[in-house]
């Protein structure tokens, strides 16, 4: 298929571009490089030996989005583009609503205009808010705690409404758990601009000595060692899930929500220990207060992905830690 990838230069987007090309699809990418760089796409081309069209453009710029549809025959869209920092979204909600929501509406309107009605959307486990139990399956109640999460949930709702209004649409909503790791070549990796928020990039900063220590947010949660439990998933597994989702939308109409996680919960201290063991480094860390808004435990019931997409994660925590560190060291 000819797939338009929005936000294809980002962490998950660039890995998905690689896997799509590897599976024999053709891609067209657009990105405004707000939180990414053209280098990731050059590396995808180098790794696959395939070239593709890249548009530097913003999804709020309707004329530029239209131009992409005008100049290409597109069968489906994978929509990664969007702002994604929880804290920033609390400080700048309008920026988040304008970019994520308005941008998506422009993309969907343009798709409809050009009769492209297949889309895979990059959602997040954040739409489950504070889950009452774990593992979390797709029929759990939805609720969000910050503007970033609200944009994900609002876009999910918009997509569901579009499917109700027009039975020709095919929508797969992928709810990611916690992506970490990097491509085996080390040429694609997470490269956040500014101060990172997520555990793995912060853990790496501490391992490299860029910060004195990693702050562990709370050790008094009702979990096995008191620290927060999450479902870390290797970005390569996650990227492969998108190829399966593209196969699925080729044959199915309507909207479906699917978790992409491993189903295994891992605590902050377990992640630190595994990282230290696998990479032979020390991660200085210090327990501090809980971070407001964090939940104790969040991990997936990944059975629907297996049933509908024939997908499940194969890479474990050790590979995630090894590949995250190797990619950073490769860069150094």
**Active-site residues: which are they?**
148
- Judge whether 231 and 263 are in contact, CB under 8 Å: yes
CA distance 119 to 75: 9
Closest separation in Å from C-beta 290 to ligand UFG: 7
Residues 153-192 touching ligand UFG, rule: CB under 6 A, are: 178
Q: Which of 219, 172, 212, 203 is nearest to 281 (CA)?
A: 203
CA distance 320 to 39: 22
Binding status of residue 198 toward ligand UFG by CB under 6 A: yes
Which residue number has the CB closest to ligand UFG?
A: 228
Can you tell me which of 62, 67, 160, 291 binds ligand UFG, judged by CB under 6 A?
291
Give the sign of the dihedral formed by CA 86, CA 90, CA 91, CA 94.
positive
The angle that helices 317-331 and 268-279 make with each other, rounded to 10 degrees, is: 60
Closest separation in Å from C-beta 70 to ligand UFG: 33
Binding status of residue 208 toward ligand UFG by CB under 6 A: no
Binding status of residue 298 toward ligand UFG by CB under 6 A: yes
Closest separation in Å from C-beta 256 to ligand UFG: 19
Can you tell me which of 93, 217, 281, 308 binds ligand UFG, judged by CB under 6 A?
217
Closest separation in Å from C-beta 263 to ligand UFG: 14
Residues 247-266 touching ligand UFG, rule: CB under 6 A, are: none
CA distance 151 to 326: 33
Can you tell me which of 216, 235, 320, 327 binds ligand UFG, judged by CB under 6 A?
216
Please, which residue, 55 or 83, has the CB nearer to ligand UFG? Answer: 83
Binding status of residue 223 toward ligand UFG by CB under 6 A: no
CA distance 40 to 11: 9
Question: What is the per-residue burial (b if ≥16 Cβ within 10 Å, else e) of 138-151?
Answer: bebebebbbbbbbb
List CB contacts of 161: < 8 A, sequence separation 6 or more: none
Residues 20-79 touching ligand UFG, rule: CB under 6 A, are: none
- Residues, the chain: 332
- Residues forming contacts to ligand UFG in the complex (CB under 6 A) are 84, 86, 124-126, 149, 178, 197-199, 202, 214-217, 228, 230, 268, 291, 294, 298
């Amino acid at each position: 298929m000819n797939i338009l990838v929005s936000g294809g230069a980002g962490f998950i987007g660039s890995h998905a571009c690689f896997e799509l090309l590897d599976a024999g699809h053709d891609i067209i990418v657009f990105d405004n490089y707000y939180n990414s760089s053209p280098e990731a796409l050059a590396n995808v081309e180098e790794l696959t030996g395939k070239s593709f069209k890249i548009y530097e453009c913003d999804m709020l710029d309707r004329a530029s989005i239209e131009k992409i549809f005008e100049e290409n025959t597109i069968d489906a869209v994978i929509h990664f583009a969007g702002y994604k920092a929880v804290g920033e979204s609390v400080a700048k909600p309008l920026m988040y609503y304008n970019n994520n929501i308005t941008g998506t509406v422009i993309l969907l309107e343009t798709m409809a205009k050009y009769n492209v009605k297949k889309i895979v959307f990059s959602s997040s486990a954040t739409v489950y808010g504070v889950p009452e139990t774990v593992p979390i399956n797709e029929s759990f109640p939805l609720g969000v705690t910050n503007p970033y999460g609200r944009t994900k949930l609002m876009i999910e709702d918009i997509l569901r409404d579009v499917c109700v209004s027009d039975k020709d649409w095919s929508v797969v909503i992928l709810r990611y758990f916690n992506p970490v790791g990097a491509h085996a070549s080390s040429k694609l990796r997470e490269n956040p601009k500014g101060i990172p928020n997520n555990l793995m990039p912060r853990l790496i900063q501490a391992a490299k000595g860029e910060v004195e220590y990693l702050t562990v947010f709370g050790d008094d949660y009702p979990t096995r060692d008191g620290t927060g439990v999450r479902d870390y998933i290797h970005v390569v597994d996650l990227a492969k899930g998108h190829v399966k989702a593209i196969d699925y939308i080729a044959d199915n109409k309507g909207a479906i929500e699917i978790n992409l996680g491993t189903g295994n919960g891992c605590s902050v201290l377990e992640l630190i220990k595994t990282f230290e063991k696998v990479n032979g480094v020390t991660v200085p860390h210090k327990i501090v207060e809980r971070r407001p808004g964090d939940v104790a435990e969040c991990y997936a019931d990944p059975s629907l992905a297996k049933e509908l997409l024939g997908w499940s994660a194969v890479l474990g925590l050790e590979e995630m830690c090894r590949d995250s560190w190797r990619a950073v060291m490769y860069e150094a």
